[in-house]
A = this chain, B = another copy of it.
Amino acid sequence: MFKKTLIAVSLAATTLASTSALALEKVDLLIKNATVLTMNEDRTVFEQGLVAVKGNKIVAVTNGKDVEDYQAKRTIDADGDIVMPGLINTHTHVSMTVFRSLADDVPDRLHRYIFPLEKKLVSRNMVRIGAQLGNVEMVKGGVTTYADMYYFEDEVAKTVDKIGMRAILGESVIKFPVADAANAEEGIQYALNFIEEYKDHPRITPAFAPHAPYTNTTEILQKITKLSLEHDVPVMIHLAESDRENEVIAERSGGKSPVAYMADIGALTPNLIGAHVINVDDSDIALLKKHDVGVAHNMSANIKSAKGVAPVIKMQEQGIRVGLGTDGPMSGNTLSTIDEFNQVAKVHKLVNHDRAAMPPLNVIEMATIGAARALHMEDTIGSLENGKLADIIVIDTKAPNMVPVYNPYSALVYSAYATNVKHTIVDGKVLMENRNMLTIDETAIRKEALEFADKVRKTVVESGEVVQ
């Protein structure tokens, strides 16, 4: 169904050194002359390093002194550029790209605007078109793995499969009628079918995505928890996000917080990934730690809606699994976590009144190995180490905003744009080279998205039924 082979390579093999060819290690891809941010446990940085890839795995990450020991089918000379693990976006709704820049600052937007909009316009076709556009945007912004929550996730999966990305795709479950299910039970069945279909896919992890505690019943949340443990799949949920959620859950549970309620009903497990997790106190954080829950920190989206800043520094101090997420493009509004680096570093300093808070390394951790931990995927992705999957990005350090680089973490966090990503490699395969998409037709995808946007304009904006 999907291609795992490397793309055809036209570059000559690495010149053989004086060493006998027989002694050379044959690899598929060699990236050399790189400032390698390994993000391994020691956070090792190699200034003239190399990364060697065989098939879909990393087989060597070194200081580059052994560069002549490899015979590579393809060699990328990074020329001093930064080479780092692909970014992991721990929370989005990728298909919503087609709604981006609609009614951005409407009060009570989810209930007053987005749910009605989705009722009118979500379809299998919309999901396909939006997912294509969003996947292109992520690959071009250096995202190699993302976690998605939406409808018709089997349609998102087709795009992920085709484009060559890695993803956890969560099929939504919610208690009111939506485009692909009449109720929560039907949503669960849809998810089970999707899980069955994709459970063996090497790059796609199917999952349950109950929308939120307050938009599902206790029974449904418990059923999903049980099924997720049986099928060993993740559960993604919006958690401790809004005042409305606080109120509904407090009423339902006799005054409990959303996190405490979830613990009480047995829904906090290591399979759970909570998005947002803003309204939490120390006892909530302790519960998240106790149950080894992953947290998606979508700060840029959260402050846009004035919801507040999740206490992520406290969570990090407690060793909680925290990664960056963009949230969906009606909220974020872009899909590369690079767009958040700067804000995350700065806003945590602001709210903590401490310019030393949230240093650049911590942000890069939340974008790579920390995000992998949040998704419980740290054994396979999130760092450049032998045996890990070859999800790698190369960042251009020649663009004027990136000159000079005294500290690569600082340069990435305070200066980099998503468009400074030069090459994106997933599972050993180059998906973007010199900013050109290799596995899909970007122009055709944009054209479909713009056509769909015209339909959105006609049916929603111009009708005046839903305010802009």
Contact = CB atoms under 8 A, between A and B. Distances in A.
A257 interface: no
A325 to B, nearest CB: 16
Contacts of A247: none
Contacts of A100: 403-404, 406, 411, 415
Interface string A102-129: 1011010100000000000000000000
B403 A350 contact: no
Interface in A384-408: 398-401, 403-407
Nearest to A102: B406
A76 interface: no
B306 A406 contact: no
Contact of A355 (B136, B306, B406, B446): B306
A343 interface: yes
Interface in A407-442: 407, 410-411, 414-415, 417-419, 442
A414 B301 CA distance: 10
Contact of A400 (B102, B133, B405): B133
Contacts of A415: 100-101, 333-334
Contact of A101 (B133, B336, B411, B442): B411
Contacts of A345: 304
Contacts of A450: 403-404
A346 interface: yes
Interface stretch (A58-66, A150-158, A453-461): A453-461
A248 to B, nearest CB: 20
B308 A400 contact: no
B306 A349 contact: yes
Contact of A102 (B305, B309, B346, B407): B407
Contacts of A55: none
A17 to B, nearest CB: 29
A11 B214 CA distance: 61
A97 interface: yes
A12 to B, nearest CB: 26
A339 interface: yes
B404 A104 contact: no
A356 interface: yes
Contacts of A453: 403-404, 406
3 A-B pairs with the lowest CB-CB distances in the bound complex, closest first: A404-B453, A137-B400, A333-B414
